[in-house]
Amino acid sequence: MDILAKERKVKDLEKQLSELGNSEAVEKIKLEIKRYKEKEMTKLTPWDRVLLARHQLRPTAMDFINYMSQDFIELHGDRLYRDDMSIIGGIGTIEGQVFTIIAQQKGKTLEENLVRNFAMPHPEGYRKALRLMKQAEKFGRPIITIIDTPGAYPGIGAEERGQGQAIAMNLLEMSELTVPVIAVVIGEGGSGGALALGVANKVLMLENAIYSILSPEGYASIIWKDASLAPKAAEVMKLTAYDLAEFSIIDRIIKEPLGGAHFDKEKTYLDTKNAILEEYYKLRKLSPTEIHFQRNNKIRNFGFLQRFNYENLGGIKR
Amino acid sequence: MNSISNTLNKRKQLKNNLKAIREESPFIKAQRMDVPEGLYEKCPSCNRTVNMKSNIENDYICKHCGNHFRMRAIDRIKYIVDEDTFVEKGLGYITLNPLFQDGYEEKIAKYKKETNLDDAYIYGYGQIYGQQCVIGVMDSYFLMGSMGSVVGEKVTRSFEYAIYKKLPIVIFSASGGARMQEGIFSLMQMAKTSAAVAKHSKMGLLYISVLTHPTTGGVTASFATLGDIILAEPGALIGFAGPRVIEQTIKQKLPEGFQTAEFLEEKGFIDIVVHRKDLKRTLSKLLAFHRRPN
């Protein structure tokens, strides 16, 4: 039974609860719900987390921004082609500190998702993000990026306008920024499309978010030629926050309420805000050179490999 | 800053390593693919059979339609770099299996044996018609030239070596993208290589990227499209998403010639499409234009 089925059961119980007036029965069922949640929803499989990361009710980037920053002003357009709605960018204050915030926005309804293109950005989206980051650097503003995308959009227009080049340029320029960059993965972190906003001093991740090189479905269909084996793929791909923290790809896990972020949104927003500010206060102490150095040092050490020690081997004969 | 001194130490070690390797490794001796006299292959472009022996003599170009066949990294170096000038660097990397994927080690071992390479990328010092440069070549015969930790590390090292020697760099990319089997580690190589390009570029050095068939996925979205000058071979497939993925997403057939080198030149993402026979001359010219006064 996956997490969504368990959630339906909880919903069922809560529905029964609302139908009953009897206080004794109400207490009993409430206790049952609590017990059930604690028993069944604490241990999640990677596939459960994938489902939660894509959950219909999961808070989107805009919800986080609205909670964290009351005076957020959105800025549009990449100055080259058009405004990509799947990436939101703008300026706002959090606890008195001005931030540039850039986020990938999913829609909550189908209509909104069509406008947001299911949070799959086109090249102009990445160029908008880059423009705003450059602007932030000019004014010495720290940057927060919020990542929630299935991946960069694979389409004719995207290819014609250089999807690869846009992402590459973001990776290059983000590594060179001299202001603090904090990235938060709140849902799906899909492939290069996510990494193009994810070259940061600190990468935070919600407990049930995922971050991977491609979707479990894509992985299953390439390796086993069967997309329905996605749950198994999620298992072997090591895409959960806990796995990535172990690999030190991400720096910090933000705990979610029992059953996922949508069960207690306020708490998730607050925890996320606190985590961001805490990391920012640490980074604030560093000079621009140290910020640049810290990020590049981190990037340079990514990888899992080994090399012969030549002194011991006396060289290799090929 | 403790971490700064750590890194400085690391740099020192790296320098020492490079010294050791320079002394120990002779230039590459991997042999050409053994091609028997009677081997015929079908040209993927015009579907006519071509004799591979004569095809190789014709620089892997189909004599019927001019289609550029894929080239192994070793052959590419022999073809581009002046004789006896190539010195391979960054030897001895071992590809590990970070996610404990079934069958990945066996696969790597098989490709290692077949191609005589450590991984899908080799680099070193070389001269092109007398012009000094660092040259790096990806090999699409090694697991589709996909970029895992070792490829990412070696690409980064090649840029660092070029910075250390103050040399321009030429990279031939041919890759299916990031390597799935290494998961998130492969993805992070995109950031690592792009950051290395930035450092090289900041030193005022030239980076020429040559895109060959096929260059897609994570390599297109990182160092391959960040060159100061981007060349491509005719007919090469170049793009971010593969044609099949796009067709599945938009549910319609792609137009003829979509994502070829010529298409990208028209869209303004490539400087020149260069025929293989002119490639060496073009590269040496470009390198000469950017030669620094000694």
- Give yes or no for a cis peptide into B214 (omega within 30° of 0): yes
* Cβ under 8 Å to B: A residues 228-267: 236-239, 244, 247, 249
Give helix A46-53 / helix A230-237 axis angle, nearest 10°. 100
Most confident of A309-318, B84-93, B224-233, B249-258: B224-233
Q: Can you give A249-318 as a three-state secondary structure string?
A: CCCEEECCCCCCHHHCHHHHHHHHHHHHHHHHHHHHCCCHHHHHHHHHHHHHCCCCEEECCHHHHCCCCC
Is A295's pLDDT higher than 90?
Answer: yes
Mean pLDDT, all residues of chain B: 85
Residue B47 lies in a domain: no
How many domains are contained in chain B? 1
- State which residue of chain A sits closest to B24, comparing Cα positions: A315
Q: How confident is the model at residue A53 (pLDDT cuts 50, 70, 90)?
A: very high
SS3 A188: strand
Cβ contact, residue pair B180, A223, below 8 Å:
yes
Q: How confident is the model at residue B94 (pLDDT cuts 50, 70, 90)?
A: confident
H helix runs in chain B, sequence order: 2-24, 52-57, 73-80, 104-115, 149-165, 184-202, 217-220, 243-250, 261-267, 276-289
Judge residue B282's burial from the number of C-beta atoms within 10 Å of its C-beta, 0-12 exposed, 13-18 middle, 19 or more buried.
Answer: middle
Residue type, A141: R
pLDDT reported for residue B99: 87
Round to whole Å and give the CA distance between B61 and B276.
8
Cβ contact, residue pair A164, B258, below 8 Å:
no
Is A84's pLDDT higher than 60?
Answer: yes
Residue of higher predicted confidence among B60 and A300: A300
Nearest to A168 by CA among A148, A203, A193, A188: A193
- State which residue of chain B sits closest to A210, comparing Cα positions: B184
Residue B85 lies in a domain: yes
Cβ contact, residue pair B240, A290, below 8 Å:
no
Round to whole Å and give the CA distance between A59 and A61.
7
Tell me the pLDDT tens digit for each residue of B16-27: 665 555 444 434
Helix-strand-coil split of chain A, %, nearest 5: 50, 15, 30
- DSSP bridge pairs for B239: B216
Contact B223, B193 (CB under 8 A): yes
Which residues span the domain enclosing B185? 70-289
CATH code for the domain of B268:
3.90.226.10
Contacts of A158 in chain B (CB under 8 A): 240-241
Tell me the pLDDT tens digit for each residue of B159-203: 999 999 999 999 999 999 899 889 899 999 999 999 999 999 999
Round to whole Å and give the CA distance between B174 and B213.
6
Cβ contact, residue pair B239, A159, below 8 Å:
yes
* Cβ under 8 Å to B: A residues 150-189: 152-156, 158-165, 167-169, 171-173, 175-176
Q: What DSSP letter does each residue of A66-91 carry, written as one string?
A: HHH-TT-EE----SSS---TTEEEEE
Structure tokens at B11: 């740099």
Round to whole Å and give the CA distance between A235 and B218.
23
Round to whole Å and give the CA distance between A196 and A191.
9
Cβ contact, residue pair B180, A219, below 8 Å:
yes
Tell me the pLDDT tens digit for each residue of B200-220: 999 999 999 999 988 998 899
A314 interfaces chain B, CB cutoff of 8 Å: yes
Cβ contact, residue pair A303, B189, below 8 Å:
yes
Round to whole Å and give the CA distance between B267 and B258.
11
Round to whole Å and give the CA distance between B227 and B221.
12
Is A25's pLDDT higher than 80?
Answer: no
Contacts of A311 in chain B (CB under 8 A): 20
SS3 A143: strand
Nearest-5° angle of CA A124, CA A128, CA A134?
140
Share of chain A above pLDDT 90, in %: 63
pLDDT reported for residue A146: 95
Structure tokens at B154: 């070696």
* Cβ under 8 Å to A: B residues 180-209: 180, 182-192, 194-195, 197-199, 202
Q: Residue with structure tokens 């040259």?
A: B135
Residue B44 lies in a domain: no
Contact B79, B280 (CB under 8 A): yes
Checking B259-265 for CB contacts under 8 A at 24+ apart, the result is B259/A159, B260/B235, B260/B236, B261/B211, B261/B232, B261/B233, B261/B234, B261/B235, B261/B236, B262/B234, B262/B235, B264/B232, B264/B238, B264/B239, B265/B232
A126 interfaces chain B, CB cutoff of 8 Å: no
Is B236's pLDDT higher than 80?
Answer: yes
Cβ contact, residue pair A302, B99, below 8 Å:
no
Is A90's pLDDT higher than 60?
Answer: yes
Which ipTM was obtained for this model?
0.89
Q: How confident is the model at residue A318 (pLDDT cuts 50, 70, 90)?
A: very low
Residue B145 lies in a domain: yes
* Cβ under 8 Å to B: A residues 12-51: none
A211 interfaces chain B, CB cutoff of 8 Å: yes
Cβ contact, residue pair B96, A306, below 8 Å:
yes
- B271 vs A8, A254, B225, B262, B264, CA distance in Å? 56, 45, 11, 10, 9
Cβ contact, residue pair B25, A318, below 8 Å:
yes
pLDDT reported for residue A11: 84
Cβ contact, residue pair A213, B25, below 8 Å:
no
Cβ contact, residue pair B188, A303, below 8 Å:
yes
Is B103's pLDDT higher than 90?
Answer: no
- State which residue of chain B sits closest to A162, comparing Cα positions: B269
Residue B207 lies in a domain: yes
Is B37's pLDDT higher than 70?
Answer: no
Residue B39 lies in a domain: no
Count other Cβ atoms within 10 Å, centred on residue B105: 14
A287 interfaces chain B, CB cutoff of 8 Å: no
pLDDT reported for residue A44: 86
Round to whole Å and give the CA distance between B25 and B90.
10
Residue of higher predicted confidence among A316 and B6: B6
- State which residue of chain B sits closest to A239, comparing Cα positions: B184
Lowest mean pLDDT among A37-41, A93-97, B8-12: B8-12
pLDDT reported for residue A175: 94
What's phi and psi for B215, nearest 5 deg? -125, 105
Residue B35 lies in a domain: no
Q: CA dihedral in degrees (A6, A8, A9, A12; nearest 10)?
A: 170
Cβ contact, residue pair A307, B92, below 8 Å:
yes
Which helix (H) or strand (E) segment holds residue A49: the answer is: helix A46-53
pLDDT reported for residue B53: 76
As a whole number, mean pLDDT of residues B90-96 equals: 84
- Determine the length of chain B: 294
B94 interfaces chain A, CB cutoff of 8 Å: yes
pLDDT reported for residue B166: 93
pLDDT reported for residue B24: 42
Select the residue of A154, A164, A213 nearest B225 (Cβ to Cβ). Answer: A164
Is A317's pLDDT higher than 60?
Answer: no
- A26 vs A7, B13, B21, CA distance in Å? 19, 69, 75
Cβ contact, residue pair A247, B250, below 8 Å:
no
Contact A180, A140 (CB under 8 A): no
Select the residue of B20, B198, B202 nearest A311 (Cβ to Cβ). Answer: B20
A19-30: burial string, b at 16+ Cβ within 10 Å, e else? eeeeeeeeeeee
As a whole number, mean pLDDT of residues A45-59 equals: 91
Judge residue A275's burial from the number of C-beta atoms within 10 Å of its C-beta, 0-12 exposed, 13-18 middle, 19 or more buried.
Answer: buried
Tell me the pLDDT tens digit for each residue of A195-244: 999 999 999 999 999 999 988 988 888 888 888 888 998 988 889 999 99
pLDDT reported for residue B30: 45
Helix-strand-coil split of chain B, %, nearest 5: 45, 20, 35
Most confident of A41-45, A255-259, B184-188: B184-188
Residue B7 lies in a domain: no
SS3 B244: helix
Strands B87-89 and B121-128: antiparallel
Measured between CA atoms, how close is B287 to chain A, in angstroms? 23
Lowest mean pLDDT among A7-21, A55-69, A263-277, B64-78: A7-21
Share of chain A above pLDDT 70, in %: 96
Tell me the pLDDT tens digit for each residue of A163-193: 999 999 999 999 999 999 999 999 999 888 9
Q: How confident is the model at residue A128 (pLDDT cuts 50, 70, 90)?
A: very high
pTM: 0.88
